[in-house]
Structure 1
Amino acid sequence: MLMSLYLSFTDYNLLSNANFTGLDNIQHMLNDDRLAKSLTVTLIYVFVSTPIQLAFALGLAVVLDRGLRGLSLYRSIFYLPSLLGSSVAVAVLWKRVFGVDGLVNQFLAVFGIDGPGWISSPSTALSTLILLHVWTFGAPMVIFLAGLRQIPREFYEAASVDGASRWQQFRTITVPMLSPIVFFNLVLGLIGAFQSFTQAFVVSDGRGGPSDSTLFYTLYLYQQGFVNFNMGYASALAWLLLLIIALFTAINFWVSKFWVFYDN
């Protein structure tokens, strides 16, 4: 980390000695249009996919918590995408599913609908990656399920006696008592989403296309460091990403005091 911090103030191409350039890399960041584009794409991806994924995971955890038979089997099946979601194999599969001749368009063709090239269109390419991220809901779901099992059933029984509906029980019992788990999953989810790389790299063949619509920040960092050999600039980008993640994590911790309730 200290070496990368030093390199962030240098001009280094991996093949020759690093030349100290001071704040030149920071100056370059301020005028880098592709950096601004990658930040925009990444922020949209993070703040759209993470809440949807957590909402889906929580909803499914609530359903599974109702005492279904074979709960262990369901839990394993739903957790499996989380193990595979960041792998190259799944990204390749996703590329084929949403390709022009992929499974999605083959299904739409049954109803006479001519589907677009989902991953080759700037208007839909990012949406497919968001959907892939949401699909890997297994890890937060398992954590939510563990948290739900810790809520005393007496609370729900008392609420039922008082005539509270299931929605009222969920809003006044489940959500407040589960808020520390929600906070935990939210922090980890945001950090993980900011670091997403494999999906965009595979789907766009490492280019971030079409029209930079899938140019994640980490992908742009990779391009600068290992395609253009601007390792000094890539190191500066890495430290900027660290600061961005730290900032949003700090904001989450500050805001948490208004909505996270701990049972003392």
Structure 2
Amino acid sequence: MSSRTARLQPSRPWPAMPNRTTIAAWCFLAPSLIVLAVFVFWPIVYSFDLSLHKWKFSADAQEWAGFANYARMWRDARFWNALGNTVYYTAFTVPLGVALPLALALALNRAIPFRALLRSAFFLPVIASFAIVALAWRFMLDPDIGLLAYWLSFLGMPHVSPLRDPNLAMPAVIIASLWKNLGFNMVIYLAGLQAIPIVLYEAARIDGANSFQQFWNVTWPQLRTTNIFVLVISIIGAFQVFDPAFVMTPGGGPLFSTETLVTYIYRQGITNLNLSYAASIGIFLFAVVFLLTLAQLRITRSWED
């Protein structure tokens, strides 16, 4: 090839240098990325590595265990009981945690008396610590000094002890959790409702649509993004439930009826010092939540398509 032909061929382009906007964006993202790397990604990686070892109170005394901890988890009846309780808790709190706040947001989105006061009252439990709320519910449901026992005695009814009954302990935890988180989802739905253009409702009324038809054909489709957000965070929060079950029913409740995956991780890792086994349960929980969230996002995306 002649030198003239070589000069006529285009040279390989050099990679473009990042502009000032890109550099500025990375500078703004750097603090958040560092925090995520240190406090989220690295603990996940280290937990997976810890689950493959047998921890012996020293970094130099970790024996390789492979997947023995996961095999132990498969044979552990307490683990399956905790998983079943977590699914039970999720199956009730997620649908009710979507329907009740949506109904409340629809009611408080109207021009009614004391609307601002009612919104503040329903959002007030969100500000309080979940441990404090669970402790208050624990005393309120106490069969001896609780408010429930007082009202039952006032009405001449026998005392009921929900937190000491294996069949009622988890429903009591679910009710307390719904009461605590009701205001948070309500505010999210209020924001979604106020973002819907008024002209859509005006056009629906002109076409003769009643209240239910306006909700089903206007409100519900316009809340698609809000529903996805509320559903995702509700499922993640339900699988990570700890405070109400741990505080309201210490020790996992009667016959471990309220022991969830996170409380079982705490018991194995902190109480029994089985950190490797606790890490394997944590990795399992992470995988379940990740797969559920991924599947949920794919399903909702297919609905949009």
TM-score by length of 2: 0.81
**Residue number among 228, 238, 247 corresponding to 1:193 in the alignment:** 238
**Residue number among 57, 62, 74 corresponding to 1:14 in the alignment:** 57
In proportion to residue count, which structure has more helix?
2
Write out per-residue CA displacement over residues 181-226 of structure 1, whole angstroms, 9 at most, x where no aligned residue: 0110000111011111011111122x11211110011000000001
What is the rounded CA distance, in whole Å, between the counterparts of 1:54 and 1:260 in structure 2?
A: 20
Once the 2 structures are TM-superposed, how far is the Cα of residue 26 of structure 1 from its aligned partner? 0.9
Map of 1:1-264 to 2, 5 A cutoff?
1=43, 2-14=45-57, 17-84=61-128, 86-101=129-144, 102-135=146-179, 136-205=181-250, 207-260=251-304
The 1:116–1:163 alpha-carbon spacing in structure 2 relative to 1, beyond 3 Å, is same
Write out per-residue CA displacement over residues 33-61 of structure 1, whole angstroms, 9 at most, x where no aligned residue: 00000000000101211110111100011
Unaligned runs of 5+ in 1: none
Task: Specify the SS of the correspondent of 1:52.
Answer: helix
What is the rounded CA distance, in whole Å, between the counterparts of 1:5 and 1:214 in structure 2?
A: 26
Whether the 8 Å contact between 1:179 and 1:259 is mirrored in structure 2 is no
* Two-structure CA RMSD over aligned residues (Å): 1.6
Whether the 8 Å contact between 1:180 and 1:260 is mirrored in structure 2 is no
Once the 2 structures are TM-superposed, how far is the Cα of residue 77 of structure 1 from its aligned partner? 2.0
State how many pairs are aligned: 259
Larger Rg: 2
Whether the 8 Å contact between 1:8 and 1:233 is mirrored in structure 2 is yes
What is the rounded CA distance, in whole Å, between the counterparts of 2:112 and 2:299 in structure 1?
A: 35
Residue type of the alignment partner of 2:54: D
Write out per-residue CA displacement over residues 99-149 of structure 1, whole angstroms, 9 at most, x where no aligned residue: 213212322222222132111100000001110111121111111001100
What is the rounded CA distance, in whole Å, between the counterparts of 1:164 and 1:116 in structure 2?
A: 47
What is the rounded CA distance, in whole Å, between the counterparts of 2:203 and 2:82 in structure 1?
A: 51
What is the rounded CA distance, in whole Å, between the counterparts of 1:216 and 1:22 in structure 2?
A: 25
- Indicate the structure whose relative CO is greater, using CA pairs within 8 Å and at least 6 residues apart: 1
Residue type of the alignment partner of 1:83: I
What is the rounded CA distance, in whole Å, between the counterparts of 2:298 and 2:88 in structure 1?
A: 22
Residue type of the alignment partner of 1:211: L
Once the 2 structures are TM-superposed, how far is the Cα of residue 90 of structure 1 from its aligned partner? 1.2
Which stretch of the first structure deviates more once superposed, 71-80 or 194-203? Answer: 71-80
Unaligned runs of 5+ in 2: 1-42
TM-score by length of 1: 0.93
Identity across aligned pairs (percent)? Answer: 34
Write out per-residue CA displacement over residues 66-96 of structure 1, whole angstroms, 9 at most, x where no aligned residue: 1235544332221121222x52211111111
Task: Specify the SS of the correspondent of 2:162.
Answer: coil
The 1:13–1:168 alpha-carbon spacing in structure 2 relative to 1, beyond 3 Å, is farther
The 1:260–1:213 alpha-carbon spacing in structure 2 relative to 1, beyond 3 Å, is farther
What is the rounded CA distance, in whole Å, between the counterparts of 1:28 and 1:228 in structure 2?
A: 15
